[in-house]
């Protein structure tokens, strides 16, 4: 019985002890953070938070762009620093994390705004031919933008089309470049409201390649040897070539190249045959043989030495002419170049020494420069010798008288030009047109009279010279004042 009472007593103590343990207070879980909304700069970086918890804790979340520095920890009365880090982004993004401890949860929201940007997605420099065309500018952007074409280029570049959402394709139209200079423009793609966000694209358009020559691109050259200089303008490098290499009578002496203006010098040999000849000189771009311009050079036939059965042979056309019916040039006696005015005051071999503006008195003789008893074959005074060379000269008075006295003269028209056909004693003939004469700035008597100098001055007056004078039905050796402009028909042996 005593043993039973003892066991009951011990059992009561045990039961009483157990009841006291269940009555102890339970510790509540505490979990907090100093911020639940976390904002990271668009440029990227990190943000720290402090986590307070009296028990062990962990961070749950599966973001691929944002990671916490620690994902679990123990109780820490002073708090635990947790760092959230992210890279730069061009997209707005958000992530959620759960901080968990026993039965407590805190939601963290991490936000990162996009970094506004425009970046090149293709080429940045575009080179176009002078024909123009379309330029497709490609860029990546996450902002509204505008395309700025510089003022000076708005006449030849325009915004044609734009499409896309993230990768933009901006279409620019480019007009044909009709100028002879290359041109450039910088087109900017600029974020609306922020000019610091921009891209620049270089538009380079080639010049219109050209070779420009004079509208008068045909040269008719005398039969004599000489030099021809002509120019051209070009913005490309050019060569100058003679198309037909059999034309050995013409050679390119030089091609002086400049930035824009160029000069070509052509050497021409004497034409010794009585037939016109032609040659084409081509100015061609070095890098594009389809770009060229051409000059045509015609060389007139050589004069024929017509045998009339006289002491000399007569040319078949005048000095300055190329064919028998052409008038040719006019010369004051003793001068070797034609001019615009034929008067006393423009005559090279007279000067008003007395100051009386008169040339025909006894006191005025010394005002006329004597050129000797004949100017024949003197290249300083004989226009035939000076311009033709090759044994050609002005006829003497005796040779003109021989032409008048021994030949038959007949008024005829050659190719519509009135003149005299002079037939020699052997039946050969020449044609002398009614070329008239020049007085002052006027041409007088053309179509009705012929005035042809000889090389012999008149014996009676220093200011007079003998010349061949003829019209319909008459012809003679007469005299005229030296300063008038007359024709010259050369003779040779």
pLDDT band at 355 (very low <50, low <70, confident <90, very high): confident
Statement: residue 12 has pLDDT above 80: no
Statement: residue 21 has pLDDT above 60: no
Q: Closest by alpha carbon to 266, among 278, 253, 277?
A: 253
Q: Are 184 and 150 in contact (CB under 8 A)?
A: no
Rounded to whole angstroms, the Cα distance separating 38 from 67 reads: 12
Reading the block at residue 292, the tokens are 């060229």
Q: Are 214 and 238 in contact (CB under 8 A)?
A: no
Q: Are 431 and 414 in contact (CB under 8 A)?
A: yes
Q: Which pLDDT does position 7 carry in this prediction?
A: 46
pLDDT band at 163 (very low <50, low <70, confident <90, very high): very low
Rounded to whole angstroms, the Cα distance separating 147 from 168 reads: 12
Statement: residue 478 has pLDDT above 50: yes
Do 31-112 and 118-205 share a fold? yes
Distance of CA 113 to the CA centre of its chain: 52
CATH code 1.10.357.10 for 118-205: no
Structure-derived torsion over alpha carbons of residues 392, 397, 399, 401, reported in degrees to the nearest 10: 150
Q: Closest by alpha carbon to 32, among 16, 49, 48?
A: 49
| Mean local confidence (pLDDT), 104-128 | 91
Q: Are 304 and 275 in contact (CB under 8 A)?
A: no
Q: Are 314 and 489 in contact (CB under 8 A)?
A: yes
Q: Are 134 and 174 in contact (CB under 8 A)?
A: yes
Q: Report how far apart, in Å, the C-alpha atoms of 270 and of each of 162, 338, 428, 474 are.
A: 68, 21, 26, 37
Reading the block at residue 478, the tokens are 């007469």
Rounded to whole angstroms, the Cα distance separating 327 from 338 reads: 13
Please tell me the total number of residues recorded for the chain in this structure: 493
Q: Which pLDDT does position 22 carry in this prediction?
A: 57
For domain 211-299, the CATH superfamily is Immunoglobulins (2.60.40.10)
| Mean local confidence (pLDDT), 164-179 | 78
pLDDT band at 24 (very low <50, low <70, confident <90, very high): low
Of the candidate CATH numbers 3.30.310.80, 3.40.50.300, 2.60.40.10, 3.40.50.720, the domain formed by 31-112 belongs to 2.60.40.10
Q: Are 209 and 182 in contact (CB under 8 A)?
A: no
Rounded to whole angstroms, the Cα distance separating 435 from 444 reads: 9
Most trustworthy range by pLDDT among 246-255, 358-367, 416-425:
416-425
pLDDT tens digits, residue range 265-279?
999 999 999 999 999
More confident residue, 429 or 23: 429
Q: Which pLDDT does position 260 carry in this prediction?
A: 65
Domain extents in the chain: 31-112, 118-205, 211-299, 305-492
């Amino acid at each position: 019985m005593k043993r039973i009472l003892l066991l009951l007593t011990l059992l009561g103590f045990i039961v009483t002890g157990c009841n006291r343990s269940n009555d102890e207070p339970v510790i509540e879980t505490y979990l907090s953070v100093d911020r639940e909304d976390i904002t990271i700069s668009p440029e990227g970086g990190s943000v720290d938070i402090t986590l307070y918890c009296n028990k062990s804790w962990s961070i749950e979340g599966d973001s691929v762009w944002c990671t916490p520095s620690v994902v679990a920890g123990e109780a820490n009365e002073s708090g635990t620093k947790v760092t959230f880090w992210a890279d730069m982004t061009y997209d707005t993004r958000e992530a959620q994390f759960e901080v968990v401890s026993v039965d407590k949860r805190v939601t963290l929201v991490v936000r990162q705004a996009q970094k506004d940007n425009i970046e090149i997605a293709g080429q940045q420099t575009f080179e176009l031919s002078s024909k123009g065309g379309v330029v497709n500018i490609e860029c990546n952007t996450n902002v509204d933008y505008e395309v700025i074409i510089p003022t000076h280029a708005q006449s030849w570049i325009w915004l044609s089309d734009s499409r896309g959402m993230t990768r933009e394709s901006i279409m620019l139209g480019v007009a044909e470049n009709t100028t002879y200079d290359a041109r450039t423009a910088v087109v900017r793609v600029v974020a609306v409201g922020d000019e610091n966000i921009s891209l620049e694209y270089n538009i380079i358009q080639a010049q219109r390649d050209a070779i420009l020559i004079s509208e008068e691109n045909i040269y008719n050259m005398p039969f004599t040897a000489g030099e021809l200089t002509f120019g051209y303008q070009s913005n490309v490098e050019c060569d100058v070539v003679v198309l037909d290499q059999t034309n050995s009578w013409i050679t390119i002496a030089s091609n002086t190249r400049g930035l824009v203006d160029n000069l070509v010098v052509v050497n021409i040999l004497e034409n010794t045959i009585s037939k016109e000849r032609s040659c084409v000189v081509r100015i061609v771009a070095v890098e594009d043989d389809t770009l060229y311009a051409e000059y045509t050079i015609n060389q007139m036939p050589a004069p024929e030495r017509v045998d009339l059965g006289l002491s000399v042979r007569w040319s078949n056309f005048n000095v300055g002419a190329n064919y028998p019916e052409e008038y040719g040039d006019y010369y004051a006696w003793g001068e070797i170049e034609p001019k615009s005015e034929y008067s006393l005051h423009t005559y090279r071999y007279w000067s008003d020494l007395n100051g009386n503006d008169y040339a025909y008195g006894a006191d005025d003789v010394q005002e006329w420069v004597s050129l000797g008893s004949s100017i024949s074959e003197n290249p300083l005074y004989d226009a035939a010798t000076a311009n033709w060379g090759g044994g050609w000269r002005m006829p003497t008075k005796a040779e003109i008288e021989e032409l008048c006295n021994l030949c038959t003269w007949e008024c005829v028209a050659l190719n519509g030009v009135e003149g005299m056909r002079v037939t020699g004693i052997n039946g050969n003939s020449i044609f002398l047109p009614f070329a008239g004469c020049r007085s002052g700035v006027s041409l007088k008597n053309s179509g009705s009279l012929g005035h042809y100098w000889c090389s012999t001055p008149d014996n009676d007056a220093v200011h007079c010279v003998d010349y061949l004078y003829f019209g319909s039905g008459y012809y003679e050796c007469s005299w005229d004042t030296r300063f008038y402009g007359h024709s010259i028909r050369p003779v040779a042996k």
